[in-house]
Amino acid sequence: MLVAAAVCPCPPLLVPEVAAGAAPELDTVRAACADALGVLAAARPDLLVVVGPGDGAGPETYPEGTPGSFRDFGVGLDVRLGPDKGVPAGRELPYGLAVGAWLLGRTGWADAPVEGLAVGEALTAERCAGEGEAVAGRAERVALLVMGDASACRTLKAPGYLDERAAPFDAELARALGAADTGALRALDTGLARELQVSGRAPWQVLAGAAAGNPDLEGVLLHQDAPYGVGYLVATWA
């Protein structure tokens, strides 16, 4: 059963080495993410699954010990999903899971085994929810670290340029995450999310499915902002 979840954004800029001189601009987001991971540790899970956007349709699973890096972003920084388990070379974490692995490493996560699940933009809401239900059944006490960004169209200089639909979309998303509203997350418009370049749609719908078996979860919105024209949200469910 799902006993806790932390929702965090997944821009590589969250990693100070990638952000370089702009790193202090995201200090508040990093602090909120650290607080969210503290909620996961306090829940004493038997298993932690990091869910994030994938490069393909997915779902793709990644065992504990899978490596990742930020070399594609010009930084020679390597990360690993939990301790090294001798995972064969050649398969690396997609960027969202790599950011999740960096967060876990930064906070010294050692509270439960860690696995990864990548879900792509093409995965339907129903399939995402089904994956979540399956993940929640993996152990008696399951926690999720859910990585994903809201719209990338909040300003003229945003990656997706300005779209007037972006701010209302993000506002409703913030409300849903803060209220642990699984129905609203399941009902997210996949087409609109794609147009607004929302990377977290599929991961959040996995969360909605995972939470189906625990209606007592309560949500708290820890942070919301849109630096660089991209919506960043941090929330916890416990």
CATH value at residue 182: 3.40.830.10
Instruction: Check residue 42 and give its pLDDT.
Output: 97
- Strand 2-8 and strand 142-147: the pairing is parallel
Q: What dihedral angle (degrees, nearest 10) is formed by the CA atoms of 28, 216, 97, 118?
A: -150
Higher pLDDT, 232 or 110: 232
Instruction: Check residue 213 and give its pLDDT.
Output: 92
Q: How many domains does the chain have?
A: 1
Higher pLDDT, 89 or 154: 154
In whole angstroms, what is the distance from residue 206 CA to residue 98 CA?
18
63 preceded by a cis bond (ω within 30 of 0): no
Q: How confident is the model over 181-194, as a mean pLDDT?
A: 97
Q: How confident is the model over 134-161, as a mean pLDDT?
A: 96
- For the chain, what is the mean pLDDT? 95
* Lowest mean pLDDT across 61-75, 78-92, 171-185: 78-92
8 Å CB contact between 55 and 118 = yes
State yes or no: pLDDT of 188 exceeds 70. Answer: yes
The secondary element (H helix, E strand) that includes residue 145 is strand 142-147
pLDDT-derived band at 205 (thresholds 50, 70, 90) equals: very high
24 CB-contact burial (10 Å; exposed 0-12 / middle 13-18 / buried 19+): exposed
State yes or no: pLDDT of 57 exceeds 90. Answer: no
Instruction: Check residue 44 and give its pLDDT.
Output: 97
Q: What is the token pair recorded at 14?
A: 């969250």
Instruction: Check residue 91 and give its pLDDT.
Output: 83
In which domain, by residue range, is 73 found?
A: 2-237
Q: How confident is the model over 81-109, as a mean pLDDT?
A: 89
Q: How confident is the model over 206-211, as a mean pLDDT?
A: 98
**137, 114, 135: which is closest to 62 by C-alpha?**
114
State yes or no: pLDDT of 93 exceeds 90. Answer: yes
Percent of the chain with pLDDT over 90: 88
Cβ neighbours of 76 (radius 10 Å): 8
Amino acid at 119: V
Instruction: Check residue 21 and give its pLDDT.
Output: 83
List of residues 6+ apart from 127 with CB closer than 8 A = 59
State yes or no: pLDDT of 86 exceeds 90. Answer: no
State yes or no: pLDDT of 103 exceeds 90. Answer: yes
Q: What is the token pair recorded at 218?
A: 């309560």
212: left (phi over 0), alpha (psi -120 to 50) or beta: alpha
**209, 196, 73: which is closest to 129 by C-alpha?**
209
Q: How confident is the model over 103-117, as a mean pLDDT?
A: 94
State yes or no: pLDDT of 23 exceeds 90. Answer: no
List of residues 6+ apart from 65 with CB closer than 8 A = 80, 81, 82, 83, 84, 85, 86, 87
The secondary element (H helix, E strand) that includes residue 27 is helix 27-42
**85, 38, 48: which is closest to 66 by C-alpha?**
85
Q: How confident is the model over 81-99, as a mean pLDDT?
A: 86
pLDDT-derived band at 88 (thresholds 50, 70, 90) equals: low
